[in-house]
Amino acid sequence: MTVKEYNQAVDNYADAVYRFIRADLRDDARADDIVQDSFEKLWRHVAEIDFAVAKSWLFSTAYHTMIDIIRKEKRLSVVEDINDTDLLNDSQYSDLNEILHTALARLPENLRTAVLLRDYEGYSYREIGEITGLSEAAVKINIYRGRMALKNYIGKIETVI
């Protein structure tokens, strides 16, 4: 990758990587740090990485850095212990954005990551698998479980309107 391509990668992908990390961490400063670290790592490996794979490399690096930070802080939740009653919404809201963000915040880390990468960033199952280190089958399962949890939380459309 050339310096020009690196600068183009910064221009094209910095905001998307930031949004992805920010959505998971909900902390602007840590998201900024992770994005900066990811681009620093890209710069250190600029001669080895082709521009065509720079986007997935950045997302993967940022994701793994975020997971390392979460593990260090011992905030990683267990996926198998999802309590569906915690994901049910009994009240009525008029702000769909607030409801969606609340529902996403209640999802376990790996389900939220899979749903955000697929539905928000538009990655394929294979690309999500490369970023997260999971098989395509595991990615599909996580997306399905995440979407079902969101559906159960949001409930009927009448509740939202």
Tens of pLDDT, residues 28-71: 888 898 899 999 998 888 888 888 888 889 998 998 888 888 77
CA–CA separation, 4 and 9 (whole Å): 9
Question: What is this structure's pTM?
Answer: 0.55
pLDDT of residue 113: 87
CA–CA separation, 72 and 151 (whole Å): 31
pLDDT of residue 70: 78
Domain annotation for the chain: domains and CATH numbers: 3-72 (1.10.1740), 84-160 (1.10.10.10)
Tens of pLDDT, residues 96-135: 777 778 888 888 888 888 888 888 888 889 888 888 888 9
CA–CA separation, 137 and 132 (whole Å): 12
pLDDT of residue 161: 53
pLDDT of residue 25: 80
Decide if pLDDT at 15 tops 50. Answer: yes
Q: Is 74 left (phi over 0), alpha (psi -120 to 50) or beta?
A: left
pLDDT of residue 139: 92
For the residues 6-28, what does the mean pLDDT come to?
88
CA–CA separation, 149 and 111 (whole Å): 9
